[in-house]
Amino acid sequence: MEIWLETSNLSAVQKAYQMGVLHGVATNPTIAARSGLALEDLLQKLLKTQKGPVTAQVVSAKAEAMIQQGLALAAFSERINVKVPVTREGLQAIYELSQKKIPVIATSVFDLNQTLLAARSGASYISPNFSHICEADQDGIEVLRSMVHLLQHYGYSAKILAASLRSTQQAQECCALGVHALTLNETLFDEYVTDHPMTLKALKSFECDWKTAAKSKLI
Show which residues are catalytic. Answer: 83
Give the separation between CA 12 and CA 181, rounded to whole angstroms: 19
DSSP of 80-128? EEEEEE-SHHHHHHHHHHHHTT--EEEEEE-SHHHHHHHHHHT-SEEEE
Give the separation between CA 24 and CA 47, rounded to whole angstroms: 9
Determine the 3-state secondary structure of 198 from DSSP: helix
Report yes or no: 133 and 150 within 8 Å, Cβ to Cβ: no
Greatest Cα pair distance, the chain, in angstroms, is 72
Report yes or no: 5 and 26 within 8 Å, Cβ to Cβ: yes
Give the separation between CA 138 and CA 112, rounded to whole angstroms: 12
